[in-house]
A and B are shown apart, each in its own frame.
Chain A
Amino acid sequence: MADRGDDAVPPGTGEESGPELREELARIEPGAPMESVDWQGLYGRILEDAEPALSRRRGGSRAGRRGWVRPLARWARPGIPAAAAAALALAVWTWTGVPGGAGAGPAGSASAPSAGGFGASPGGPGAAPAGVPGDDGLMAMAAGTEDGLVLLWAALAEE
């Protein structure tokens, strides 16, 4: 006989059961002897069995963390000073290169970086006319900035 679906089942017969049939079945097929099981022992054995797998999973999550921590740590040693240098250079460039800031205020008197490089460059920010620098001034600023970065990198590398 072929397999059948719901329509082969007379309605209402699916979930009903006579108490008599159930009782008789229970008598000839008694349930599991639950009281004779050492539940604590079974529980302990199941957990003991599982320990290597659980430990692998715990280790796996740590290894997963190490997976990205290790390369990061490898790059951190040279990366952090480099990032600091870049940040410093950017700060200096911003400080001295902002239009209008070159001649006035602290930017104008920022002699330390200027002495280190910016000032040495002809037509650098210090040489630019006060206020908005022209095209030449911008070019010079860019050139000066590059010089400054190179010098900064050289100094850091030496250190």
Chain B
Amino acid sequence: VERVRRGDRDAYGELVQRYMRPAYSIAWRILENRADAEDLVQEAFLVALERIDSFEAGRPFGPWFYRILWNRGLNARESRSVRETEEIPDAAADPGPGPEELTERRRRRDRLREAMSELTERQRDVVRLHELEGFSSLEIGEMMGLSDGTVRWHLHRAREALRGALAGDGGEDDDGSDAGREHG
């Protein structure tokens, strides 16, 4: 980072190489579009370079950078210029199970999708980053500017709703029904 501050292109290149892929993963989770995610990563690196003097030496670069990425991503998501989300082929198309089991699986996934859509945006983001990208609640907190406790609370509520959906609880008549309320 010190070298980047002095304008060292190679050092900046090293940072880009190291953080480009995880950054893209996060950007994808926010925007769900390949081109938008690439634009976001590109923009976040540039913003990070412009703000590199405010980076506190001795601290890890990742969380600081991901926070920039996250905030820019949220802005992009809110803006109208964001391209449509891409339709990703369902990874569930694995052959093997019989038609009955397949039908049941589809039902479960539909319920899960619905439960996900009923979560607040923040809960969805927390779940995606934790369950799918493998970030800890602390890391998510740093990225999103939330306390660890708040992140864990969102995670807890979201899981409750999603597990309910998987189990076929419906989610309307139980504790999961208010999981979609916004907090923090």
Contact = CB atoms under 8 A, between A and B. Distances in A.
Interface of A: 1, 3-10, 13-15, 17-18, 20-22, 24-34, 36-37, 39, 42-43, 45-47, 49-51, 53-61
Contact of B137 (A5, A15, A33, A50): A15
15 contacts: A6-B152, A8-B149, A13-B155, A14-B155, A17-B131, A20-B166, A25-B127, A26-B91, A32-B37, A33-B88, A37-B38, A42-B20, A46-B20, A54-B4, A54-B9
A49 B137 contact: no
Contacts of A33: 28, 34, 88
Given A30-B88, A31-B25, A32-B37, A25 B16 contact: no
A45 to B, nearest CB: 6
Contacts of A31: 25, 28, 132-133
Main SS class of interface, A: helix
B75 interface: no
A57 B155 contact: no
Contacts, number: 152
A111 B155 CA distance: 95
B50 A28 contact: no
Contacts of B27: 32
Nearest to A51: B9
Contact of B183 (A1, A25, A57): A1
B29 A58 contact: no
Interface string B132-151: 11001100000000011110
B156 interface: yes
A57 B16 contact: no
B166 A53 contact: no
Given A4-B153, A9-B149, A34 B25 contact: yes
Question: Can you list the 5 inter-chain pairs with the closest CB atoms, starting with the nearest?
Answer: A57-B7, A32-B28, A58-B7, A14-B152, A6-B149
A130 B152 CA distance: 93
A32 B149 contact: no
A5 B91 contact: no
A18 B46 contact: no
B83 interface: no
A6 B148 contact: yes
B112 interface: yes
Nearest to B5: A57
B159 interface: yes
A42 B40 CA distance: 11
B99 interface: no
B163 A21 contact: yes
A4 B159 contact: no
A32 B25 contact: yes
Given A6-B152, A28-B109, A57-B5, A21 B45 contact: no
A17 B152 contact: no
A42 B28 CA distance: 14
Contacts of A29: 116, 128, 132
B69 interface: no
